[in-house]
Amino acid sequence: MAARILDGRAMAARWRAWVKAQVETLRNRTGQVPGLATILIGDHPASRTYVQAKQKACAEVGIRAFGEHLPADVDPETVRERVQALAARPEIHGILIQLPLPSHLDEEEILGAIPPEKDVDGFHPANLGRLGLKGKDPCFIPCTPLGILAMLREAGIPIAGRHAVVLGRSRIVGLPMALLLLRLDATVTLCHSRTPDLASLTRQADLLIAAVGRPGLVRGEMVRPGAVVIDVGINRVPDPQDPRGYRLVGDVAFEEVAPIAGAITPVPGGVGPMTVAMLLVNTLKAAQRQVEGAASPWLPVSPVPEQPGGVQ
- Spot the catalytic one: 98, 119, 288, 290: 98
CA 283/CA 66 separation, integer angstroms: 13
Parallel, antiparallel or unpaired: strands 228-231 and 163-167: unpaired
Contact 44, 102 (CB under 8 A): no
CA–CA gap between residue 121 and residue 99 (Å, rounded): 11
Q: Is 169 within any annotated ligand binding site? A: yes
Distance CA 267, CA 264 (A): 10
Length of the chain as a residue count: 312
Omega of the bond prior to 100 within 30 degrees of 0, cis?
yes
Is 7 an active-site residue? no
Q: Write down the catalytic residue from 22, 118, 121, 288.
A: 121
Distance separating alpha carbons of residues 123 and 50, to the nearest angstrom:
17
Check whether 234 is labelled as a binding-site residue: yes
Q: Phi and psi for 69 in degrees, rounded to 5?
A: -125, 120
Report yes or no: 36 and 93 within 8 Å, Cβ to Cβ.
Answer: yes
- Whether 54 is catalytic: yes
Q: Is 251 a catalytic residue?
A: no
Point out the residues that are catalytic.
Answer: 54, 98, 121
Q: Which residues are annotated as a binding site?
A: 168-170, 234
Q: Which residues are annotated as a binding site for NADP(+)?
A: 168-170, 234
